[in-house]
Amino acid sequence: MQATRKLWTWLAVICALSFAVLGWVGAEIYLTAPPIPKQVVSTDGKVLFKEGQVQRGQEAWLSAGGQQLGSVWGHGSYVAPDWSADWLHREAVALRNIWAQQDFGKPFEQLSAGQQADVTARLKGEMRHNTYDTATGAITLSPQRAAAVSEVAQHYMALFGDDAALDKLREQYAMNSGSLPNPDDLQALPAFVFWSSWAAATDRPNETDVSYTSNWPHEPLVANTPTAGAGIWSIASVIFMIAAIAGMILHHSVGHEESDPVPPKADPLFDLKPTPSMKATKKYFFVVIGLILAQVGMGVITAHYAVEGQSFFGYPLAQILPFTVSRTIHTQFAVLWIATAWLATGLYIAPAISGHEPKFQKLGVNVLFYALLFIVVGSTASGWLGTLQHQGNDFSFWIGNQGLEFTSMGRVWQILLFVGLLFWVLLLGRGLLPALKKPSESRGLIAMVFLAAMCIGGFYATSLTWGPHTHYSMIEYWRWWLVHLWVEGFFEVFATAVIALLFTRLGLIRASTANSAIVLETIVFLFGGILGTLHHLYFTGTPTFVIAIGAMFSALEVVPLAMIGVEAFRNYQRSKAAPWVQTYKWPILCFIAVGFWNVVGAGLLGFSINTPIALYYMQGLNMTAAHGHAALFGVYGMLGIGLLLFCLRGLSDRAAWSDALLAPMFWLLNIGLAMMVFISLVPAGIYQAWASITKGMWFARSPEVIHSHFMETLVWLRVPGDVVFAVGTLFLTLFALRLLTKATTRPVLAPVAGTKQA
């Protein structure tokens, strides 16, 4: 107990210090982010962009699809360009052609090598020179550069408008004609994209050859190349990671770990009587399966748009289901079904652990269910209709689609979801309270479950921290608090603690061992995970020290994965500890699959792009998608399915249970995911990385690469893996239908004195 108290103290200290540093970094980002100009003018008095147009252009881009329609500073989708890289390249090419015609009377490509060298040197000096005046708030450009900016601005207004001459390009970008029908939005959009490009190439004040985005994206024309810090901290992070892994292995080899207890002769949960509130959670799990099917369907459509940008096998589907909508639903539903599975698991286990059914608990579980269903359906429908009908910036932010990846629902829906999560914490707390009050070996685990739940509820508040006019750098800062810390952080701690608690209730691990282990694992995970959030923010207009902190601490995120194989093997052994454990074979195998995908998806593929030098060239390319698919579904998705199966086991008639359906479900999902990732996404990511390194980020995201024969072949090579994966989801659906159609004959009783509880 003394050792466990020390671990809890260390956990509190580490969390306090880490969040203090993360908060300080946020303050520094706010103070040093790329300045938003009041005006962009030329030296001859021409006004290119007026006050407020950058902010309105940001709103316009987000309402047109935002991060579902290309990306800015590398964050977003991958079919359309990264707009900051695209503008930077177009402006640089336009400016050097203007100079070539002005000085030599012919296009740049026809100049001699010496003349080209002269123009290129001038181009670098012009594009990197910071002309922002803090006194007037204006960016001043030469007349030639102003002409180049105007030329690119006309292209963007035509592209996001309805110019028929760009129909083919729009199809390649998977965007519809007339994305911005409002003339004022269409005029403002180029201001935002220009500003994002200007910040990417302009030197920071009092620094040379280091832009506001640490020289991202790679653009040789303006000498945008990796900074020295990106290389140095990449090397340091790899060395640090290897040393930390060696230390963990040494600690594990010299430490004495108690062996697992002798398992009970019979299933301890066999006589568990589900309470009314436990039974009420059953419908959550069937909705989870429905959301999985919808997410997979939208994923198939979204992937196909990479070949036919506006059609699905010839049918003009984009007229009613644009790429921006299908991808929004695909990414949003991924988070929603995983979170729903975990929330329902918490509500299921609370009375089972405490042996207490609070008054009106079933009513609360039912109210929460219908509230969550209303939020999912309402946010999806309003986002879809708002996009189709071009309802405008205010509608998009408040009710429709905010245009931000993984957190796209409108602000009203976010507020409702936040209230719903707080209500879930209340319900969970009511159910766990008797167990928290009662001294027991498992109380530490139960406390960890509840603390993680409080963080899940509380930290969703970070989705409410930005407004319609918030600086884009700060939006990205807070968005990654939500995506990284909420989804990848506290949900993972919650699920890990729940699994440990379930294993102790089954008598497969000792409660005392699990108590210490879960706190230690949380310490190790959060020590790297909290400040590891910054690896998402290397190139989003943040100070250069973010690269150092993010690189070193994100390397620590990989360290716990070094022992995942050992834990997975022990879980496999536990699945064979006694004949009755085979009852839980498939939930346990799902937990083992989580370990595999943690190593492959989060570890191997994650760290392959996490170092600053790797991410510099690969941010916003398909290697990110490979990591995202393997980690999000392989780790969090399989974890959600494992918890779902565990809970349904206790809620269903055992005669209706079918391992014959679960076996193909498990193997097809995992094999299909592996095929999808390693046959299609990884080769595509490597090919794009080559394009990015050799010619620049603009080229890696250009139609010349995205719609090359090789890349489109790789998209088609996704089909076998997608089919295998989709068939796996159908087996899960058939399994659920079997549970629904088979009559439940087991009695359902509220807990009474002497009732055996889990």
**pLDDT tens profile 148-185:** 999 999 999 999 999 999 999 999 999 999 999 999 99
Q: Cβ distance 714 to 683 under 8 Å?
A: yes
What is the model's pLDDT at position 758? 36
Question: Cα separation of 632 and 606, whole Å?
Answer: 11
Q: What is the pTM of this model?
A: 0.93
Whole-number Å distance between alpha carbons of 628 and 75: 13
Question: Residue 21 phi/psi, 5° resolution?
Answer: -65, -45
Please name the residue ranges forming H helices in 652-695: 659-675, 682-695
Nearest to 665 by CA among 719, 723, 726: 726
| pLDDT tens sequence across 117-139 | 999 999 999 999 999 999 999 99
As to burial, measured by CB atoms within 10 angstroms (0-12 exposed, 13-18 middle, 19+ buried), residue 434 is middle
**pLDDT score recorded for residue 519:** 87
Model confidence at 733, pLDDT cuts 50, 70, 90, reads very high
Summarize the confidence of residues 436-450 as an average pLDDT: 87
| pLDDT above 80 (res 413) | yes
Q: How far apart are CA 681 and CA 74, in angstroms?
A: 17
> By C-alpha distance, which of 613, 610, 621, 619 is closest to 528?
610
Q: What is the DSSP letter of 636?
A: I
- Torsion region of 742: left, alpha or beta (phi above 0 gives left; psi -120 to 50 gives alpha): beta
Report pLDDT for 742: 76
Burial profile 739-748: b = 16 or more Cβ within 10 angstroms, e = fewer? beeeebeeee
Q: What angle do CA 724, 725, 729 make, to 5 degrees?
A: 115
What does the pLDDT read at residue 750? 39
Question: What is the C-alpha to C-alpha distance for residues 692 and 152, in angstroms, rounded to an integer?
Answer: 22
- From the CB of residue 524, how many other CB atoms can be counted at a distance below 10 Å? 18
Give 316-339 as a 3 state SS string: CHHHCCCHHHHHHHHHHHHHHHHH
Residues in the chain, overall count: 758
Up-side HSE of residue 217: CA atoms within 13 Å toward CB?
A: 33
Residue-wise pLDDT tens digits, 186-210:
999 999 999 999 999 999 999 999 9
Torsion of CA 278, 515, 493, 728, to 10 degrees: -60
How far from the centroid of its chain's Cα atoms is residue 225's Cα?
27
Alpha carbon of residue 617 to chain centroid: 19
Q: Strand, helix or coil at 169?
A: helix
Helix (H) or strand (E) holding 705: helix 703-706
pLDDT tens track for 16-52: 999 999 999 999 999 999 999 999 999 999 999 999 9
DSSP-assigned beta bridge partners for residue 39: 138
Please check the confidence at residue 57 and state whether its pLDDT lies above 60.
Answer: yes
- Token couple for 351: 């009375």
How is 574-627 classified by DSSP, letter by letter? HTTSSGGGGGGHHHHHHHHHHHHHIIIIIIIIHHHHHSHHHHHHHTTSHHHHHH
Q: How far is CA 64 from CA 155, 395, 614, in A?
A: 16, 12, 30
d(CA 432, CA 438): 10
Residue with tokens 């890349």: 711
CB 277, CB 351: distance < 8 Å: yes
Q: Among residues of the chain, what percentage have pLDDT more than 90?
A: 77
β-pairing verdict for 39-42 and 138-141:
parallel
- How many CB atoms within 10 Å of residue 183? 10
140's enclosing H/E stretch is strand 138-141
Report CA-CA distances (Å) from 233 to 165, 237, 248, 549, 616: 46, 6, 22, 9, 13
657 by DSSP, 3-state: which? coil
State pLDDT tens for residues 266-324: 888 877 889 999 999 999 999 999 999 999 999 999 999 999 999 999 999 999 999 99
Report CA-CA distances (Å) from 132 to 41, 94, 136, 205.
10, 22, 9, 9
pLDDT at 578 over 90: no
For the chain, give the mean pLDDT.
92
CA distance 167 to 724: 35
**Lowest mean pLDDT, pick from 2-11, 97-106, 564-573:** 564-573
Please provide the DSSP assignment of 472-523 as one string.
Answer: HHHHHHHHHIIIIIIIIIIHHHHHHHHHHHHHHHTTSS-HHHHHHHHHHHHH
* Predicted confidence band of residue 3 (pLDDT cuts 50, 70, 90): low
pLDDT at 751: 40
Enter the DSSP assignment of 203. Answer: B
Q: Per-residue pLDDT tens for 458-511?
A: 989 999 999 999 999 999 999 999 999 887 778 778 888 888 888 888 888 888
Burial code of 416-428, b = ≥16 C-beta within 10 A, e = fewer?
bbbebbbbbbebb
